Structure 1
C-alpha cells in the first residue's frame, strides 16, 4: 500500500516539474536553438584539434539535438486540428528516430574509429539537420507577428542551411577527397573524420551561403560545384523571402496595433 501511495506522489511531482520547465523554457525555445547552433559552430574552431575540442563539439551537438527535439514537440498548431495532430505525431516520430540515431553515433565514435561509421554519422546528422531546418522554416512562414523569438527562429533557419550544406560538403569529400582543393588536413586525425571536417566545411559553407566566397577552398567535381551553387542561390532567396515576409507581417501588425491603441484610449477617455 505504501509503495502504491508513493507512485502517484512521484508521478505528480514529475508532472509538476515538467510543467514548470515547459512554462519557463517554451517561450524562449527558439532563442535557445539559436544559441545551440552558434555554440556548435564556434566550439571546434575556438578550441582547436585538442581532445577538449572534440568533447566540447560533441556536447554542443547533443545540446543542439535536445533543443531541436523540444522545438518539434511543442510546435504550434495552426489550421485543421485533426490533420495537424496527425502530422505533428509523424514529425515527432521521425524526429525522435533521427535524434536517437544521431545520439548513438556520437557515443559510438568514442569507442569505434571506422571510416564507414564516420560516413554514416555524417549522413545521419545531415538528415537530422535538414529535418530541423524544414520544421523551423515551416514555423517561420506560419508566424503572424514579428517578435524577438520570430527573429531568432529566422536566423536559426539561416544557420541551419549553413549547417546542412557543411554536412553535405563533408559527405561529398568523404566519398571523393579530390572534390575540393584547398582542404588542409590535420596530422593527428584521419582527414575523413566528421569532427575534423565540420569546422573546415562549416567555414566554406557560411562563406558560400553569404556569397562572400574567399576562394581559398574550391569545389572541383560537378557534385561539389552544383552543391555550392545551390547553397548560394538558396541563401539569397531565403533572405529575400524572409525580409519580404517580415515586412509584410510588420505592416499588417501595425494597423491592428494602432486600432487597438485607439480603442483603449477611447475607453480610457470615456471613463
Structure 2
C-alpha cells in the first residue's frame, strides 16, 4: 500500500511537471478550472437527489488540482500530497459512514491543503518578475482560494457549533442526508463576505464565525488592492526597461 501511494505521488508530480510549460493552460489553468467548476456547478445541480455527494465530488477535483499546482518543489509537493490524500480519505469515509467526526476532519484537512496552496501561489506572485498570463491566472486562483478557504472554515465551525449561522431566523445545521446544501449556503456567504456585498440573508451568530467574517472582508479588500498594485508595478518596471 505504501509503495502504491508513493508511486501515485510520483506519477502525479510527473504529470504536473509535464504540463508546467503550458502557461495558463497548465497547473494554474487546471486549478482555476476546478474552482470555477465548483462555484458554478454546485448550485446548478441542486435538482439532483440529495444522496448524490455533489460537493464532495467537486471539492475532490479542486484538491487534486491543488496538489498538482504544488509540484515545483519536492517538499511542497509531498506536504500537499499527504494532506490531500488525508482529505480525500476523510471525504470518502464521511460520505460512506455518515460520521460527523470524519466530516469535520475532512473539512479541516481540505482547509489545510487549500490554505497551504494559497500561500504557495501568493509567494510565487510576489516573486514574479513580469506580468504574464500565468501570473494573472495565478492571482485569480488565489482570490478564489481565499473565498473557498473561509468557506471551509465556516463549514468546520458549523460542524463544531450547529446553529453558528442563521438564515431568516432559522439555524443552518449540517445534515447527513444532504451535506451539499449547507456547503452551498456557506460558500455563498463566504464569497458575499469576501466581496463585501453583505446581503444579510445569512448571519453569523457565533463569536468565531463573526470574527472570521470580518477577517475575510478585510483580506478580500487588501488582496485586491495589493494584487493590482503588484501587477501595475511589474508592468511599469517592464515598460521602463524597453
TM-score (norm 1): 0.75
Q: Distance in 1 between matches of 2:86 and 2:230?
A: 35
- The yes-or-no answer on 1:173 pairing with 2:158 is yes
Deviation for aligned residue 1:95: 0.8
Q: Which moved more, 1:208-217 or 1:43-52?
A: 43-52
- The yes-or-no answer on 1:127 pairing with 2:112 is yes
- The yes-or-no answer on 1:67 pairing with 2:65 is yes
- The yes-or-no answer on 1:228 pairing with 2:213 is yes
Q: How does 1:18-57 map to 2 (within 5 A)?
A: 22-23=18-19, 26-27=22-23, 28=25, 29-48=27-46, 50-51=48-49, 54-57=52-55
Q: How does 1:50-129 map to 2 (within 5 A)?
A: 50-51=48-49, 54-74=52-72, 88-129=73-114
Q: Residues 208 and 19 of structure 1: is their aligned pair in 2 closer, same or farther, counting only changes over 3 Å?
A: closer
Q: Which 4+ residue blocks in structure 1 deviate beyond 6 angstroms?
A: 183-187
Report if aligned partners of 1:166, 1:201 keep a CA contact under 8 Å in 2. Answer: yes
Deviation for aligned residue 1:36: 0.8
- The yes-or-no answer on 1:140 pairing with 2:139 is no
Q: Residues 156 and 54 of structure 1: is their aligned pair in 2 closer, same or farther, counting only changes over 3 Å?
A: farther
State the SS of the aligned residue for 1:145. Answer: coil
Deviation for aligned residue 1:185: 7.7
Structure 1 unmatched ranges of 5 or more: 1-14, 75-87, 259-271
Q: Residues 141 and 192 of structure 1: is their aligned pair in 2 closer, same or farther, counting only changes over 3 Å?
A: farther
From the CA coordinates, give the structure whose radius of gyration is larger.
1
Report the number of matched residues.
227
Deviation for aligned residue 1:207: 0.5
CA RMSD of aligned residues (A): 2.7
Q: Residues 43-96 of structure 1: CA distance to partner in whole angstroms, max 9, x if unpaired?
A: 22110162488444333323222222121113xxxxxxxxxxxxx333222111
Q: Distance in 2 between matches of 1:158 and 1:21?
A: 24
Q: Distance in 2 between matches of 1:59 and 1:90?
A: 27
State the SS of the aligned residue for 2:215. Answer: helix
Aligned match of 1:85: none
Report if aligned partners of 1:47, 1:53 keep a CA contact under 8 Å in 2. Answer: no
Q: Which moved more, 1:159-168 or 1:54-63?
A: 54-63
- The yes-or-no answer on 1:248 pairing with 2:233 is yes
TM-score (norm 2): 0.84
Q: Distance in 2 between matches of 1:206 and 1:20?
A: 29
Deviation for aligned residue 1:158: 0.4
Report if aligned partners of 1:174, 1:192 keep a CA contact under 8 Å in 2. Answer: no
Report if aligned partners of 2:66, 2:113 keep a CA contact under 8 Å in 1. Answer: no
- The yes-or-no answer on 1:153 pairing with 2:173 is no
State the SS of the aligned residue for 1:181. Answer: strand
Aligned match of 1:217: 202
